[in-house]
Amino acid sequence: MDAKALQTINFSGFTRPEKFVGRTGLSLTRTGKPEMVRMRRRKIACSYNNIPASILESGGHKYPLEEELILKNKSQQIQPYLNGRCIYVVGMMGSGKTTVGKIMSQALSYSFCDCDTLIEEEVEGNSVADIFKLYGESFFRDRETEALRKMSLMHKFVISTGGGAVLRPINWKYMHKGVSVWLDVPVDALAKRIAAVGTNSRPLLHDEAGDAYTAALMRLSSLFEERGEFYANANARVSLENIAAKLGRRDASDLSPRAIAIEALEQVGNFLKAEDGGYAR
């Protein structure tokens, strides 16, 4: 996002914007105007996307225009019923929460926050894997709950959670202040994706022996056994198998992140419709 785009950001919808801007490479000058500051870390936890569509459109399209139009159309349909509530993307590690969450935030002109990256920011920039190593999983889970508590105070964010965020009831208390959507991806597709990028960034997969795919498949299968019922607490569910069937595709793992984002907006819309007793006013 270039500095010019930043100047147009309207922070009016944020509570305590300074809390999130200074630490993520954006800073409010004395006049309250946002300006880029030198990033202290390699990743931005939260990016602010509510720049006018005109600037986005001038950026040109590098994706099929039809998908772009459907994304925009679906987000315009659900915006009024979201009422600025945050969207929490939940699912197993590797399910595409960070990737799809960003696409959803752009379509909705929402800001985006990755919970894991926010936690890394809070723990002196240590990676999730290092946090697990240095302080243990329970410390990480406490930081995860704190990050979700902070995000529950915000508006107009898509928040990509970590795969284990569903484990604690208190986390659901925070996530239920917004709308949650579960990316339900077949375990073998998860294993393929994680094997492709390596398990370094996912400490819960570190101790498995064997080749990357098999090790990931074994561990992910047992993790899903333990957690499946928790993901089902989400308000909406995106089944890649259902999308593949709708699109007449044989392999769910071939679906693009944008096709999944379209379905996620569709399912969030269905939830809002049911919640609102038919939102087509």
Ligand X SMILES: Nc1ncnc2c1ncn2[C@@H]1O[C@H](COP(=O)(O)OP(=O)(O)O)[C@@H](O)[C@H]1O
Give the E-state strand segments of 123-270 in sequence order.
157-160, 179-184, 236-239
Vertex 23 angle, CA 116 and 151, to 5°: 50
Residues that bind ligand S3P (CB under 6 A): 93, 97-98, 116, 128, 162-164, 202-204
- Residue 193 touches which of ligand X, Mg ion, ligand S3P, none (Cβ within 5-8 Å per kind): ligand X
Determine which residue in the list 72, 193, 219, 237 makes contact with ligand X, applying CB under 6 A: 193
Would you say 95 or 127 has its CB closer to ligand X?
95
Nearest to residue 236, comparing CAs of 88, 68, 67?
A: 88
State the binding partner of 154 from Mg ion, ligand X, ligand S3P, none, CB within 5 to 8 A by kind. Answer: none
Q: Smaller CB distance to ligand S3P: residue 116 or 263? A: 116
**Per-residue contact string for residues 26-65; x = within reach of ligand X by CB under 6 A:** ----------------------------------------
| Two tokens, residue 8 | 């147009």
- Does 98 interact with Mg ion (rule: CB under 5 A)? yes
- Residues near 56 by beta carbon (within 8 Å), at least 6 away in sequence: 106
DSSP letter at 234 equals: S
Q: Does the footprint of ligand X cover residue 103 (CB under 6 A)?
A: no
Least Å from the CB of residue 247 to ligand X? 13
CA proximity to 193, closest of 104, 89, 96: 96
- Distance, in Å, from the CA atom of 2 to the CA atom of 96, rounded to the nearest integer, reads 26
Q: Cβ contacts of residue 76 below 8 Å, gap of 6+?
A: none
CB of 23 to ligand X, least distance (A): 20
By CB under 6 A, tell whether 91 contacts ligand X.
Answer: yes
Least separation, in Å, of the C-beta of 254 and ligand X?
A: 8
| Piece in contact with Mg ion (CB under 5 A), picked from 95-103, 126-134, 187-195, 212-220 | 95-103
> What's the rounded Cα separation, in Å, for the pair 200 and 213?
13
Q: Indicate the residue type of 147.
A: A
178 binds, among ligand X, Mg ion, ligand S3P, none (CB under 5 to 8 A by kind): none
d(Cα 203, Cα 21) in Å, to the nearest integer?
29
List of residues contacting Mg ion (CB under 5 A): 97-98
